[in-house]
Chain A
């Protein structure tokens, strides 16, 4: 058993293109450090120099925002799913067509 971590498109340059990677740790902090051993640079994209989650990064443990579960101290355990997403504003545009949202994606 391990923790599944879903990686957004813009961070897959660190995971060799993998959408889902696996890691271990008791807290989100430990999990991200563990992941960084195999996916170099990933942690630095998510955690700022002063040790906080990047303002435009949202991380969810089993669909719940970690900022309300202790942020980097949030507890994680085997079998959990962690989802990383960039912060975007939803809701304003209703049903914009798919093509409107397609744009060149680097990294």
Chain B
């Protein structure tokens, strides 16, 4: 079906496309090892985050937390903010985003274009400060609703009820699912669904390994693990360097024509690692991975051209996924 009553209905049911040129060659007579990309950039605002945004808003509506004219508050300047801004606009809510004052102007423009209001938190405090500021604002406005994607079950459930079933429907022979680890919602929801349905399936996480500045904590106890995370859902977890993520992002557009953001490059890097291992083991594999978003929002980094070392420098210290 390609006709929908409104934009929200057009969320999900994204294409799963084969990557015949990036899938590793196998020896004659050996079982095939195939890579498949699920194009989440085909969602209404161009990222996988439309799914959890829609589910979190609908859940808050069902629970009576959101009523016509309510205000949603969320500390984010990323894809979740853009998705929430679109959903809030169409469902009649006000969205207030809290973000560090020095995020890129594209982010601010995109959010404002979708109708979000922005409260800036001090640059020096980074994202921790934005979360703290949001919590403070929430305390001052008890009627505002913070959806809090890191701990909201509806985030994972969006993937349990949509992404997982779509993958199994389109690829009944799936052996591996690979996605990025941020809020962990994608892997928890999709992973739980696929584990229930497919015996022996591997659920693989790819997480970005950022430049040192991003890890500028004062001590280990300032670390953070999202409330949604349950390591029992995963079978493997890879840390992917900025360099490898950029390399694979470029390879994906050069070889298969898919123009994606850098988090997708990190995911592809992990997917290729398990693909090559399947070839070595002589085992058949249908490996599905997520294309989280297109590359448009990241063009201004300059990391799509020049040497890998230049690209690595351009992204150093940034949260590129």
Name A's B-contacting residues (CB within 8 A). Answer: 8-11, 45, 54-58, 60, 63-65, 67-68, 83, 85-107
Contact = CB atoms under 8 A, between A and B. Distances in A.
Given A89-B182, A104-B218, A96 B209 contact: no
B285 interface: no
A48 to B, nearest CB: 11
A58 B127 CA distance: 20
Given A64-B237, A98-B318, A92 B220 contact: no
Contacts of B180: 91
Nearest to B183: A91
Interface of A is mostly: loop
B190 interface: no
A92 B239 contact: no
A55 B225 contact: yes
A66 to B, nearest CB: 9
Given A93-B77, A94-B77, A97-B123, A85 B215 contact: yes
A97 B102 contact: yes
Contacts of A93: 76-78, 99-100, 103, 127, 130, 319
Contacts of A88: 214-215, 217, 223-224
> Chain B contact residues (Cβ within 8 angstroms of A): what range?
35 or more
Contacts of A106: 218-219
A50 B240 CA distance: 30
Contact of A57 (B223, B234, B239): B223
Contacts of A65: 205, 236-239
B207 A90 contact: yes
B319 A68 contact: no
Interface in B224-246: 224-226, 231, 234-241
A8 to B, nearest CB: 6
B208 A90 contact: yes
A49 B174 CA distance: 41
Given A93-B319, A96-B318, A57 B220 contact: yes
Contacts of B263: 91
A50 B107 CA distance: 45
B79 interface: yes
A8 B215 contact: yes
Contact of A90 (B75, B77, B182): B182
Given A86-B217, A96-B100, A103 B182 contact: no
